[in-house]
Structure 1
Amino acid sequence: MFTRLQEKISWRSGLTAVMALLLVLVLSPALFTKETALQITLANERGSLPDGFYIYQRLDERGIRIKSITPAKDSLIILLDSPEQASAAQTALEDLLPETYRISHSRQYPRWRWLYCFNRDISAI
């Protein structure tokens, strides 16, 4: 009876280990790829940032797909799928927005950036 119990536990542990390994293999590309970001800031201290919905609409009209637009300290962060999309978005935004805004490539964010939420320093995100 004791050996049957051991076999049952061993079989379940092996199945759990295989399932965990498969889950890691399936999710690893999504966890370790990076997203490309643009940052919109004010060129001078006067003024306000553009409306995120306006930016979303104008870029969507041009076929540029945005993952998210997030307000950050004194800027807007726009996450895009690829560097090509970021370049197209930067060109479009330079045409759309007046010169009072600075549009620049921001660092690439790992998709698992939500782990940084446990860090109290928001600028690290």
Structure 2
Amino acid sequence: MKKSGCIGFIKRFRLGLLVVAVLVSLTLLLPALCHNDSTLQITVARERGSLPDGFFLYQLLEDRGIRVKSITPAKDSMIIHLDTPEQAQAAQLVLQHHLPEGYAILKSLRYSGWQWLYRPSTDEERLG
């Protein structure tokens, strides 16, 4: 009798640990999965155009009180990560006003909350 009671306790204990592990995982992953659209992507709208300098973009936004988390070059674009969606909206307006025509400045869904799951396309895998 005692042996089966001990085994039952161990099974319940393992099940409890599993439930706790799943809850902790969900608590940590949900904020990352539910992105808040605080990432902008700048692309060149015309052929043979060049992207703006990342340091120029950083200074432009920081001088206007918009805190930039990071600016990262990507394939044919610049990715700007900001703290909040409000800052992304303000940054989008500033960039549209100060950058010359020929740039597309959009909220980036590809690089926001799922960036850690991003897998390069076949074109991006071929380096060199």
How far off is 1:81 after superposition?
3.9
Identical residues among aligned pairs (%)? 45
2:105 aligned with 1:104, yes or no?
yes
Answer yes or no: is the 8 Å Cα contact 2:66–2:91 preserved in 1. Answer: yes
Cα deviation code 1:54-97 (max 9, x no counterpart): 21232122222333322122211223344432221112112332
Displacement after TM superposition at 1:43 (Å): 3.9
For the aligned residues, what is the CA RMSD? Answer: 2.9
Q: Provide the residue aligned with 1:6 in structure 2.
A: 7
Structure 2 letter corresponding to 1:26: T
The correspondence for 1:72, drawn from 71, 74, 97, is 74
Point out where structure 1 has 5 or more consecutive residues left out of the alignment: none
Q: Is the 8 A contact 1:31 1:112 kept in 2?
A: yes
TM-score, normalised on structure 2? 0.69
Q: Judging changes above 3 Å, is the alpha-carbon distance between structure 1 residues 22 and 4 closer, same or farther for their aligned structure 2 residues?
A: same
- One of 52, 57, 60 as aligned partner of 1:58: 60
Work out the CA distance in 2 between the residues paired with 1:54 and 1:2: 71
Count of residues in Structure 1 that have an aligned counterpart in Structure 2: 121
Give the gaps of 5 or more residues in structure 2: none
- Per the normalisation by structure 1, the TM-score is 0.70
SS in 1 for 2:65: coil
Match of 2:30 in 1: 29
